[in-house]
Structure 1
């Protein structure tokens, strides 16, 4: 059994794709643990296997070797106690904001009324309750991603998986979403696995950062983020913040060199 302190464990996890008679190793021998309630970012350049690793944690892909354990149970398929946020908000255009947030409940058992108060709490926490009757095309990109985060949290999942959810936003909206997500995490305090290629974003949001090397991708560095919570945007001008970003940039470059 996985100890309570180690909510998520990866043991020798690799992923190899086979196509047209050749093999591509996307992830090589990933091994780490994540305590319950930790915000962990997986950082690395595009194409290094970050999203593949997240998909295996979420049960969307099967490891070629190794095992993933969550709460003492091996991951064999997507679990009901996970929330997902993807690069695109993937909201249903014919549903209102409120109905989109409640959609996972509708799929599970249809008892949406029992979750309405939680939906209100979530939407209020991101400043969108007054937009509850709007359609997705009436919202900005950042607002749609806030709805997607609320939808991921509606069933009170144990773990939140996020795959570069702000990568399509402009710089100002992305900064706003980082602050919003930090506030959401401080309030609901879920175990979070966050994939990004933004060093600054990873440092601002995370308790801990794993750096992945170039393909075949391996975890080459494991870095704790020392800044206390809650965090405000102004921390990004702190010399220690800037220094840590520089250290991580150096580690990513080391990973490129292999």
Structure 2
């Protein structure tokens, strides 16, 4: 699928913001669709099936957090890229966004060139992901299907947000290897300038909530690694 076929939905209650983002993304060749609140955004998304959704957080009728949460519960949007756009810099807004399954977080005021660069990077990666043909990764009681973006634990499907999946896959590809926070940011979030170390902590916590504490180990002061609980070294007595 080329860039001309990729669809982006922008959901924001500020007409000037919609117009600005629409203008620059159309110049890049994307198909752009607009909505002015979360409720309308869900309706439009069901009609056009966008590849990426940009959601403002503070909106009337239904805010971006609730809209993202509801869409993530719909199977067809489980792997759709969702990016929050907000003027609010409070830490809780970012954490709330990632908790409901956001893939990225872009702050206002918008810098068009930076925004377009970030969107291009996200969707280029999405295209390359779809072209990957990899066997399933089977580790202990986990099966990680990179091509289908699915995880099974003891045969039961575990629903992960896209970035949660990518983080798990990165760590599980090389069990025992310690990934620094900088390496995780580079591999999972690429060149995003708004993602912080706290973002990694949120995603690690969500993985542990969904899979249990037996897989991702914290290496204090360094980073994280994938290590099955029953394969960890036993200290000499």
Q: TM-score, normalised by structure 1?
A: 0.29
Normalized per residue, which structure has more helix? 2
Higher RCO structure (Cα 8 Å, ≥6 apart): 1
Normalized per residue, which structure has more strand? 1
Q: TM-score, normalised by structure 2?
A: 0.31
